[in-house]
Structure 1
């Protein structure tokens, strides 16, 4: 993949403090951290993050390239592609990542809130991921 799958530069491989919550390789280009945090996140095929919760603030994903998945705990997974928007309310356990055959890019917008935090949880294991692929296969 070239460095520019979307309109934004791919950025560098995630530092270990974040990479440990991802299965596979992902890259981050922070676009701004002033007032609101917006990062361009790029996932290699098959890469996904762990289940996690954004406490108090929530998150918005703006898909800018490739194909990926989003799943809120207890809900059916969604297949995402360029132009899709996902609004994730605060306190929602969820994960997101690339399909097994495509890179996936999104802008991750952290909704500002006093005392907000992220809680990283268990990984999305290979069986769970395979089931998502089967449910969303085009």
Structure 2
């Protein structure tokens, strides 16, 4: 067993290659093999969001605070709130982030594939896609 003491894992600013705006990531777990689970606490400042991406084995998001958006290709984004859990199937192109007016924090849980990959990153989400009226 390993206990990671609160406050000992540093927050890190997410790579701008994969995010728009300021996004902070705090690792929760990157389990050693043969386990494949990875989890992060991700905090988005207002207007911040991921780029389009997919996950080879899918992804679960669980919203902790704030108000967020999650979007799929050719669809209006959906609003997500604290307590909401979102399942994104393998290979589904999507993005997620904060609304323009509110921060949002979620836990992102995904598994690595056999090669250790957890995400396939695509292009940045356009302002038009981001600002599309939510469903």
After TM superposition, the score normalised by the length of structure 2 is: 0.82
RMSD of Structure 2 on Structure 1 (CA): 1.8
Other-structure match for 2:12: 12
Other-structure match for 2:6: none
Is the Cα contact below 8 Å between 1:10 and 1:41 reproduced in 2? no
In 2, Cα distance between the equivalents of 1:83 and 1:28?
A: 19
Cα 1:71–1:90 change in 2 (3 A) is: same
Cα 1:119–1:112 change in 2 (3 A) is: closer
In 1, Cα distance between the equivalents of 2:108 and 2:78?
A: 17
For the residue of structure 1 that corresponds to 2:106, the secondary structure is: strand
Other-structure match for 1:63: 63
Is the Cα contact below 8 Å between 1:65 and 1:105 reproduced in 2? yes
In 2, Cα distance between the equivalents of 1:61 and 1:33?
A: 16
Matches within 5 A, 1:24-39: 24-34=21-31, 35=35, 36-39=37-40
Cα 1:75–1:130 change in 2 (3 A) is: closer
Is the Cα contact below 8 Å between 1:51 and 1:94 reproduced in 2? yes
CA positional deviation for 1:10: 8.5
CA positional deviation for 1:78: 1.0
Bigger CA radius of gyration: 2
Other-structure match for 2:125: 124
In 2, Cα distance between the equivalents of 1:135 and 1:39?
A: 25
Structure 2 spans left out of the alignment, 5+ residues: 1-8
In 2, Cα distance between the equivalents of 1:47 and 1:80?
A: 14
Count of aligned positions:
122
Structure 1 spans left out of the alignment, 5+ residues: 1-8
